[in-house]
Amino acid sequence: MIRRLVLDVLKPHNPSVVELSEALSHLKGVEGVNVIIYEIDQQVENAKVIVAGSSIDFESIEKKLGELGATIHSVDEVAAGKRIVEKVKTPQDRSARM
């Protein structure tokens, strides 16, 4: 079962981020949605969409975004299982920045 999704999404200016997040929050298994806009163009907005819940159906998220005119550029994080495992820093994280 998927508990958290972090998506890079391209969306039109309408619907607004409020409307988009509310629409996603009403889907079965979704308990919370964050939408963060990180780039605005004349025609579209790039957003990080974070969806959390007890049992998220990826296909329903993808379908709802499509209905709203948005497309998923990438799936940047998926957390699945009985609980969410939080990120931890490792030595590899330090060497990747050098």
| Residue 96 clears pLDDT 80, i.e. is over it | no
Judged against a pLDDT cut of 60, whether residue 11 lies above it is answered with yes
Three-state SS for 15?
coil
Q: Residue 77's domain is classified under what CATH number? A: 3.30.70.1340
Position 6 in a domain: yes
For the beta carbon of residue 30, count every other beta carbon within 10 angstroms: 20
Residue 17 is assigned to a structural domain of this protein: yes
- For residue 88, being part of any structural domain is answered with no
Q: Decide if 74 is inside a domain.
A: yes
Backbone angles phi, psi at 46, to 5 degrees: -95, 135
Helix axes 58-67, 17-25, angle to 10 degrees: 140
Number of domains into which the chain is organized: 1
Give the predicted TM-score (pTM) of the model: 0.86
- 97: pLDDT strictly greater than 60: no
pLDDT range class, residue 10, cuts 50, 70, 90 = very high
User: Is 7 within a domain?
Assistant: yes
Nearest CA-CA partner of 7 in 87, 79, 78, 80: 78
Percentage of the chain lying above the pLDDT 90 cut: 81
